[in-house]
Amino acid sequence: MSETYDFLFKFLVIGSAGTGKSCLLHQFIESKFKADSNHTIGVEFGSKVVNIGGKSVKLQIWDTAGQERFRSVTRSYYRGAAGALLVYDITSRESYNSLSNWLVDARTLASPNIAVLLVGNKKDLEEDREVTFLEASRFAQENELMFLETSALTGENVEEAFLKCSKTILAKIEAGELDPERIGSGIQYGDASLRRLTRHQQRQQRSLDCAC
Ligand SMILES: Nc1nc2c(ncn2[C@@H]2O[C@H](COP(=O)(O)OP(=O)(O)OP(=O)(O)O)[C@@H](O)[C@H]2O)c(=O)[nH]1
Ligand SMILES: [Mg+2]
């Protein structure tokens, strides 16, 4: 049986190498910590259907390699993404310092309207922390990003991160700020929505017929 969902969102997970992007995706999809994670080669893919405010949304997630040598490959996957998790490691100032570059890429290559959630990962390593919560919150505010600290190890805030970003996209669709029918919006209607739309159109047609 084919899956039914209302919307499909294209999502990216971006940020420097070793920040825990693949572990976050694994924790989100499998509810487990991926203890033996190696550097991603190019991109990896995962998907999951989530329920947001009564709507089912399929997240199509591209987990990109953070290593510089894959940059040209990973960039080619950015186009038209509706949302992104921009990940740094709270124990690595270097990963925090490169956030601006990743953000520029996301906004220029994906879409200027892309919903970006800043993720400070490895929250469980408090004793090795190099970036404070406050500092990162300010960066998020200045750059109009949502922000959460997570741990792919314990699972803390991992699902929340994907859901929070998805909720924002859904709210923009409902407010008419994002049009799923625009090519390159990173959003598609699923079967469930299409069926509802068709029924709605049929009702509209019937009321037009009656009015004539
Ligand atoms: N303590 C702790 N370690 C983590 C966490 N998330 C990831 N790690 C570790 O960090 C290392 C890198 O994790 P990955 O998920 O492979 O990192 P990545 O961002 O996908 O790296 P690239 O694919 O090279 O871009 C691994 O050794 C993980 O075990 C976390 O939340 N807490
Ligand atoms: Mg990876």
Name the residue ranges covered by the structural domains of the chain: 7-210
Closest Cα to atom 15 of ligand 1 = 20
Neighbours of ion ligand 2 (CB under 5 A): 21-22, 40
Nearest CA to ligand 1 atom 6: 20
Least confident of 68-77, 135-144, 187-196, 200-209: 200-209
Task: Specify whether the CB–CB gap between 58 and 188 falls below 8 A.
Answer: no
Interval 16-31 mean pLDDT: 98
Is the pLDDT confidence value at 2 over 60?
Answer: no
Mean pLDDT of the chain, nearest integer: 91
Q: Which of 33, 37, 44 gets mutated to test ligand 1 (max ligand atoms within 8 A of its CB)?
A: 37
pLDDT for res 194: 64
Q: Given a cut of 80, is residue 211 above it in pLDDT?
A: no
pLDDT tens for each residue of 32-61: 999 999 999 999 999 999 999 899 999 999
Instruction: Assess contact for 64 and 14: CB atoms under 8 A.
Output: yes
Reply yes or no on whether the pLDDT at 83 is more than 90.
yes
- Kindly report, residue by residue over 172-181, the tens digit of the pLDDT: 888 888 888 7
pLDDT value of position 67:
97
Q: Are 64 and 110 in contact (CB under 8 A)?
A: no
Task: Pick the residue whose CA is nearest to atom 8 on ligand 1.
Answer: 20
111 C-alpha to center of ligand 1: Å? 27
Q: Indicate which residue's Cα is closest to atom 14 of ligand 1.
A: 20
Index of the ligand 1 atom closest to the CA of residue 25: 15
CATH superfamily, region 7-210: P-loop containing nucleotide triphosphate hydrolases (3.40.50.300)
pLDDT of amino acid 205: 62
pLDDT at 197: 61
Least confident of 76-80, 100-104, 149-153, 176-180: 176-180
Whether the pLDDT of residue 124 is over 50: the answer is yes
Tokens found for residue 121: 């990962």
Torsion sign across C-alpha atoms 120, 122, 127, 130: negative
The ligand 1 site (C-beta within 6 Å) comprises: 17-23, 37, 39-40, 65-67, 121-122, 124-125, 151-153
Are the C-beta atoms of 43 and 81 separated by less than 8 Å?
no
Burial class from Cβ neighbours inside 10 Å (0-12, 13-18, 19+) for residue 197 reads exposed
Whole-number pLDDT of residue 179:
80
Query: What number is the average pLDDT over the span 118-137?
Result: 98
